Chains A and B, each alone.
Chain A
Amino acid sequence: MIEGIFVEGLIYGIMVLGVFISFRILDFPDLTVDGSFPLGAALMVQCLLMGMNGWLALLVAFAGGVVAGMITAVIHNHLKVPNLLAGILTMTMLYSVNIRILGNRANVPILKHETLLTQVTDRLTGIIPDEYILLVFFLAVALVVKVLLDLFFRTDLGLTMGAMGNNEQMVISQGVDPRTLKTVGVGLSNGLVALSGAFAAQYLGFADVGLGQGIIVSGLASVMIGEFLVLKSNRIGVLTFCALAGSILFYAVMYLGRYYGYVINMTPSDLNLIKGVLIICLLILTQFTKLKKIGIKAVVAK
């Protein structure tokens, strides 16, 4: 059971990293995510059914997400549409696109088909105990993504992108077009979300257009939980670690809610309410800790 919690947290953790980039680093509240997550899933499943190599299919899913994100950024940049609305537009359009990709169906199963996960399981059987294979695999995947992101945000481009959400004027003053940075950043963010969707589809055994519903809320909740874990840090490695850890914690709570919620008469459909309430509580807590910090300062000043 414990593996199940971790695996979910790690798969969705890649999505949380994407949400972290758009919300926290770029300060670009991007709702494309609700569409790019099932986009990744749909692309992955269709590519696998067409007999494409699993790793290549993963790349296709990632690229699809990048394009979706870039469309949002371009709508926002060039038509002067607020970023929230730009995201909603792309998300809405993606709903139709996803159904097209799935061959005019809302749900395509892939349970009996060979996937990356079955390949990995076949290869690792006997080396690692069966129940831990997926855990080890997804741990490796999440870590690779995290480390690559850390490296990216230490390059000159990554650093400038870090300044973007903080101070757009500073970026302009450096002779960099903020629109380019937004396009790259939101593209990258949605690429990760689609990648997460691609893994989720293989794990669940199907792709569904409804897969992304409310995913942005889960992502945001995970990011916020992660931020509670460690005190303020300016090291990107710590921040991405927090996002992953937040995801694992959040999905653990959701997992427990799904499996043991019946004890308190809770149904799975109550989870969305719980997610929303969780975010509100976290926001209240943030306000509270801010107040406390100011209080401490005032005392010290005296």
Chain B
Amino acid sequence: MIELKNVSIVFNQGTVNENQALSNINLKVKEGDFITIIGSNGAGKSTLFNTIAGTHLPSRGEILVNDRNVTRDPEYKRAQYIGRIFQNPTLGTASNMSLEDNMMITYKKGFKWLKRSLNNKMREYFKTELVQLRMGLEDRMKENLVMFSGGQRQAITLLMMVLSKPALILLDEHTAALDPKNAEIILELTNKFIKEQKLTSMMITHNMSHAIEFGNRLLMMDKGEIIFDIEGEAKKALTVEKLIQKFHELRHKSFENDRTLLSEE
């Protein structure tokens, strides 16, 4: 479905600040994959997402979507088939607009014309979909998003992204800015939607047990490389200890700052 061929990204090329953010990434995401990605800060996880989404154009290499070369496509074009949720809950919705307006904007991808689509039928549809979140939001359709909590906003962003039926979804630590209870709710919703709709998805997390618990495939990144790629039955057999062990083996270095690297809870 999505394929990265020898993708490298170098920031500030030719200066003292030169930084190889991604080096020679080869990755094939298959339809229906749910991939979790772990790695320390600066490992290149977010850069990988930015490259797939089109925020950064690769310095070398190609990106193919269903065998079509999209390497040079700008972000807004790729957004037609890629859904993305950020760590910051305010990035997915417009604060000064009502819930129903937000839902109308995010309902369909692509350029919007001079058509008025928000009618009572749409409102009813949005309400029935909101019920799934079990947050009572269906009764707050006219309220501005600024009145909602981070968890609620992230849930709305998630729901709207699922309704727009993207071919691939990128979740960039989308629960990291939430309190533990809300993070749990959002994670459960995410898992439910991905299973129900059979969405192809990639999720960055700092939580190793989440990375093991969710998804059918796991990537470990370090210094701009994918150092470990495991899927299926082999992934199910993973434990947190085995993962740390694996990192030691692969990198031949002591893991002094394990705890800052990857959290276990």
A-to-B contact residues, CB < 8 Å: 151-152, 154-160, 162-163, 166-167, 169-178, 180, 232, 234
Contact = CB atoms under 8 A, between A and B. Distances in A.
Contacts of B20: none
Given A159-B105, A160-B105, A170 B113 contact: no
Contact of B80 (A154, A158, A175): A175
B105 A163 contact: yes
A157 B105 contact: no
A178 B95 CA distance: 18
B105 A174 contact: yes
B28 to A, nearest CB: 24
A185 to B, nearest CB: 13
Nearest to B80: A175
Nearest to B84: A173
A156 B117 contact: yes
Contacts of B75: 172
Nearest to B110: A175
A189 to B, nearest CB: 17
A166 B112 contact: no
Contact of A156 (B76, B102, B115): B115
B116 A163 contact: no
A43 B52 CA distance: 49
B91 A169 contact: yes
A154 B118 contact: yes
A293 to B, nearest CB: 12
Contacts of B96: 166, 234
Interface in B72-94: 74-77, 79-80, 83-84, 86, 90-94
A174 B106 contact: yes
Interface in B101-122: 101-102, 104-106, 109-118
Task: Report the interface size class on chain B.
Answer: 35 or more
A158 B117 CA distance: 11
Contact of B114 (A152, A172, A174, A232): A152
Given A156-B113, A176-B110, A170 B92 contact: yes
Interface of B: 74-77, 79-80, 83-84, 86, 90-98, 101-102, 104-106, 109-118, 142, 144, 164
A149 to B, nearest CB: 13
Most chain A beta-carbon neighbours within 10 Å: one of B79, B90, B164: B79
Given A156-B116, A163-B97, 15 more contacts: A151-B116, A155-B113, A156-B115, A158-B114, A159-B97, A163-B105, A170-B93, A172-B75, A173-B106, A174-B164, A175-B79, A176-B112, A177-B74, A177-B76, A234-B98
Nearest to A178: B76
Contacts of B109: 174-175
Contacts of A177: 74, 76, 111
B76 A170 contact: no
Given A159-B101, A160-B105, A163-B97, A173 B113 contact: no
A177 B109 CA distance: 11
Given A163-B97, A167-B93, A170-B91, A156 B104 contact: yes
A234 B95 CA distance: 10
A162 B104 contact: no
A154 B116 CA distance: 7
Contacts of A174: 79, 105-106, 109-110, 112, 164
A151 B76 CA distance: 26
Given A156-B113, A162-B101, A170 B106 contact: yes
B143 to A, nearest CB: 8
B15 to A, nearest CB: 20
Contacts of A172: 75-76, 79
A199 to B, nearest CB: 25
A162 B97 contact: yes
A162 B94 contact: yes
Contacts of B83: 173
17 contacts: A152-B114, A155-B112, A156-B104, A156-B115, A157-B112, A160-B105, A160-B112, A167-B91, A167-B93, A169-B91, A173-B92, A174-B105, A174-B109, A175-B76, A176-B76, A176-B111, A177-B76
Contacts of B84: 173
B112 A156 contact: yes
Contacts of B144: 232, 234
A162 to B, nearest CB: 6
B260 to A, nearest CB: 29
A154 B164 CA distance: 20
A163 B94 contact: yes
A234 B142 CA distance: 9
Nearest to A169: B91
